[in-house]
Amino acid sequence: MLSTGGVSVGDYDYVDAILAELGATLHIRAIAVKPGKPLTIATLPRPSAAQPVPPLLYCGLPGNPVSALVSFWRFIQPALMQLSGLSQWQPQFVGATCQTLLRGSGDRETYLWGRLQWTNGGYQFSPASGSHSSGNLVNLAGTNGLARLPVGTKQVVSGDPIDVMVLP
């Protein structure tokens, strides 16, 4: 099962309470990633199964559109591919050269979206223009990569190497 929204800690985030009522086991409630900190992974027992079967898997994505997409691409899509039996299920990261200054908070792994292109024998990454807020879906259009700034990294300057996740 997959849903978006309702998995954070606000007044109108009811998913955890509903999962508890259904007898779910919560495995993950939040991750140290920006965007996409609220992420719920739970398993639920299957009702009255005649034979032993694995529990149902529940994935709850954040409600902000960019957070939901980044969380899906980074964590849920690889999990679904692995569960489907595919041998190549991990996200593809490539080394690239940063074309402009990138900023992260430093306290969480940060993903910034933009354009990845092959130029002069190497990958180059340029962030999308405009705000990189979790609600700004407009500047996500046309991007094909997510630059990953590790925990502890507050900035990457132009010309520095950076890992970029290739988007599907």
Which residues have CB under 8 Å from 116's CB, separation 6+? Answer: 94, 96, 123, 124, 125, 144, 145, 164, 166
- Among 23-27, 43-47, 48-52, 164-168, which is the least confidently predicted range? 48-52
Please say whether the beta carbons of 161 and 98 come within 8 A: yes
Task: List, for residues 116-143, the tens digit of each pLDDT value.
Answer: 999 999 999 999 988 888 878 888 888 9
Among positive and negative, which fits the CA dihedral 22, 29, 112, 76?
negative
Cα(73)–Cα(68) distance, integer angstroms:
9
Q: What is the pTM of this model?
A: 0.89
The share of the chain scoring above pLDDT 70, in percent, equals 98
Residue extents of the structural domains in the chain:
2-83, 93-166
pLDDT of residue 158: 96
Task: List, for residues 54-85, the tens digit of each pLDDT value.
Answer: 889 999 999 999 999 999 999 999 999 999 99
Work out the mean pLDDT of the chain and round it to a whole number: 91
H/E element, 118 = strand 109-119
**Whether CATH 3.40.980.10 fits 2-83:** yes
Q: Write down the CATH superfamily of domain 93-166.
A: MoeA, C-terminal, domain IV (2.40.340.10)
Please say whether the beta carbons of 29 and 20 come within 8 A: no
Cα(155)–Cα(161) distance, integer angstroms:
12
Local confidence band at 49 (pLDDT 50, 70, 90 cut-offs): low
Local confidence band at 112 (pLDDT 50, 70, 90 cut-offs): very high
